[in-house]
Amino acid sequence: MAGKHVSHLETASDDDLDRLLSIVVDVENLFICVHREEDPDTKQVYSYLFRRLRKCILQVTPPTVEVPLGTPPFERPSIFKGVTNFVFHKFNRLQQKVRLSDDERPCKMFLHCLNHWRLETPSARRAHTTPEESSAYKVNYTRWLCFSYVPQLCDSLPHHETTAIFGRTFLRAVFHTLRKQLLDKFRAEKDKMPPEKKLLLLNHFPRFLSMLEEEVYSNSSPIWDADYRPQLPPHLHAQASERASGGSTAARGEFERLSVPPGEGQYTTVNLTPAATRRARLEESRGEKREGDEICENSSNSSSSSSSSGTSTSISSSSKRMKLDSEDLGEETVAEVVATITDPRKMIGPEVLFSENAARDEAAKLEERKGNIEFHVIGNSLTQKVSKQTMLWLIGLQNVFSHQLPRMPKDYITRLVFDPKHRTLALIKDNRPIGGICFRMFATQGFTEIVFCAVTSNEQVKGYGTHMMNHLKDYHVKNNVLHFLTFADEFAIGYFKKQGFSKDIKLARAVYQGYIKDYEGATLMGCELNPNIVYTEFTAVIRRQKEIIKKLIERKQSEIRKVHPGLTCFRDGVREIPVESIPGIRDAGWKGPPPAKPVRSPSQEQQEAEYLTSMLKTLLCNVKSHTAAWPFQVPVDPNEVPDYYDHIKYPMDLKTMTERLKANYYVNARLFNADMLRIFKNCRFYNHPETEYYKCANNLEKYYINKMRELGLLENK
C-alpha cells in the first residue's frame, strides 16, 4: 500500500528526486521557523512559504514565490548600481589615474553588510513611522524575506542579493537604522581592533556613510539616474580618442564595463597596482582582513558570531583585492583583460560553469557564502565568563573528536578541548559543530601545535577539511605565528600532506622540544606559512592568474598573427634546419638558447681543477685548525648520542669532507660550500641555542664565510 503513494515518482529522474528531497528538507526547516518565530508579520511569511513548498512537493513542480509583490528586481537602478555610481561620482574626478582603493573598501563593506543584515521587523518600526511609510516598508520587508533572507536557509528557493533587487526607496527606509547599528557596533568593539582597522572603521567609514547619505536623500543626485555613466578621467580621454580613431573594435562604453562590471558580485574597481607601489600595497594588504565580513553580523544575532568576553572569534570568507604586477604591461592592457574575464557576456563556454579541475575547497567556500556553514575560534576560560553557546559547541566538538579518533582516550580529549590554553577552530553547520581543529599556540616560540583534527564521518569528502585548515592558516598569519607542528598517525599523513605539511621540519629542534606532546607510532610533520598569502582565497587567486595569463597570450598572438608559407626545404632533401630560421618564430616570442660557453681544452680543465683543489685544501686545513672546530672534526658517535641520526637525515663532518676532497668529489666550490654549511645547519637544528655546540657553529661559520670571500669563492652580499 505504501508504494502507491509514490507510484507517480517511478518514472522520475534522479535529478527530480534530488530536487524533491531538497524541498522536503526546506519544508522541515520552515516548519521549525514557523513555530519558533514570535513576530506576526515574519511568521505569516514563513507560513506562506511553508504551504507553497508543500504544494510544490505534491504537484512535483519547481518552487516559485507567487505573491502579488512583483518579481525582482523591484526598482532600477539597484542599490549596488547606485552605490558604485556614487563612488565614481565622488572620487573619480581627481586628476590622476583610476585608483579608488581608499574609498573602495568602505563601499565593499557597506554593500556586504546590507546583503547580510537582518532587517528590522515592520511591527518594530510602526512606533516611529507614519502609516504610509509602515505599509510601504512591510511590502519591501516581505519581498526581502521571500527573495533574499529565506532562500539563504532554503536552497530550493531562488536567492537574490538585497543590493541587486532593491533600489533607492528601500535604501532610504533602512539607511538610518543600518548606519546607527553599524557605528554602535564599531564603537563597542574599538578596544579590540588593531590600529589600521580602527582607522578605517571609526574615521573613513563614517565619512563614507555621511557622503552617501547626502546622495541617498537628495532628489537631484545623478547616481540614481538609470542612464548614468561615469566620466573618463582626463588622462584617459586622449587614449580613448586614439583607440576610436585607430579603428579599434572596442565597443562604445567599454571603459564603463571595465570599471563598473555588471553582476551582483562585482565591485567598483579592479586595482591595477603599478610596480613602483606594489611593495607598499603588499605591506598594506598584510594587515587587511576582510573588514566587511567581520562586522556584517546582525546585532540581534551577535551571539552566533562571537562568544561573550571575547572567548569566540568569528571567521568568514570574502574576496581579497587582486594585485597585478604590471612591470612589463600597460595598466590599460591588464585592465581590459581583467574586464574580459569578469564579464559573463564575454566569457562563455562550459568551463565557465563547470570547472574540470575545481579546487577541493570550492564546494565548502560556496556553502560558507550561502551561510550554510560557519567557522569560529572558541575556547574555555577560567578568568572570563564563557557563553552558553560556546560551551555547547565545545561539548559537541568533544563528541566529534571522540567518535572520529577512537584511539584517543575520551578523558584526554575532554581535558585538552576544555583546557583554557587550547583553542579550537569549530566548523558549525545548523548551529552544531560537525568538525574542528584543536590547537595550542606558542606565540613566543613562533609555532602552533595541532592536537586534534576531525570532521564527522557523514560530512567528509565535501572539502570541509581543506577549507577548515585554510581558515586556521589565515587566523595564524593574522597573529604572526607562521609554523604548524603536529604528530600524524598513519591515517592522517595523507590529509596533512595535502594541506602543505611535510616531514621536513623547518624549525630547529630546540625551538619546540619540550613544548609539544609526543605520540607513540605517530610522525612529526610541519608546515611553514607564507604571510603574503590569504589561504582561503589562494585557489581562486591562482585560477584568476591563469585566466589573465591565458588572455594575455591570446592578445599577443592576435597582434602578431601572420600566416607564413609552409617550409619547402624538406622537399629538397634537407634533413634539419636551425629553429631560428623558421619564418615568424622570433616574432612569436621565441628566444634562442643562451650562447654556449667557449670550449676549453682538457689541459685547461685539468689546471683549473688542480687550482680549485689546492684552494679548497688550504681552506679546509684552516677551518679544521680553528679553535671552534673541535665538535665537528669526526662524525657523531651514535653510542654517545643515540637519537642524533633520528633527527639529522644528512649528517656531515670535517673528516668526511677531507675524504671527499681527496677523492676529487668537489668539482666546484658550490659542492664544498653546501657540505660545510650543512655541518653548521645540522648543529643548530639539533642543539639548543644556549649550548656550547651552537655557539661553536656560529663562530666557525663566520670564520669560514670570511675565508671563502677572501679566496673569491663566495660572492659578497
What are the residue numbers of the active site? 449
Q: In what order do the strands lie in the sheet with 373-378?
A: 312-315, 373-378, 423-429, 432-442, 447-455, 483-488, 523-528
How many other C-beta atoms are found inside a 10 Å radius of the C-beta of residue 507?
17
Q: Which three cell numbers stand for residue 233?
A: 578621467
Q: With the CA atoms of 361, 363, 368 and 373 taken in that order, what torsion angle do they form, in degrees rounded to the nearest 10?
A: -100
Backbone angles phi, psi at 377, to 5 degrees: -95, 115
DSSP codes, 200-250: IIIIIHHHHHHHHHHHHH-TT-GGG-TT--PPPPHHHHHHHHHHHHTT--P
* Cβ proximity of 255 and 248 under 8 Å: no
Spatial distance between the Cα atoms of 29 and 154, rounded to a whole number of angstroms: 8
Q: Which three cell numbers stand for residue 34?
A: 514557523
Backbone angles phi, psi at 423, to 5 degrees: -125, 160
Closest CA to 563 of 580, 581, 592, 588: 588
What angle (nearest 5°) sits at the alpha carbon of residue 309, between those of residues 381 and 384?
A: 35
Spatial distance between the Cα atoms of 361 and 542, rounded to a whole number of angstroms: 14
Place of cell 532562500: 151
Q: Is 292 left (phi over 0), alpha (psi -120 to 50) or beta?
A: alpha
Q: Which three cell numbers stand for residue 225?
A: 539616474
Quick one: the chain helix, strand, coil %, rounded to 5?
55, 5, 40
Place of cell 527606509: 173
* Cβ proximity of 365 and 317 under 8 Å: yes
Q: What is the CA radius of gyration of the chain?
A: 32
Spatial distance between the Cα atoms of 18 and 16, rounded to a whole number of angstroms: 5
Q: What is the number of helices (H) and of strands (E) in the chain?
A: 29, 7
452: helix, strand or coil: strand
Q: Is 98 left (phi over 0), alpha (psi -120 to 50) or beta?
A: beta
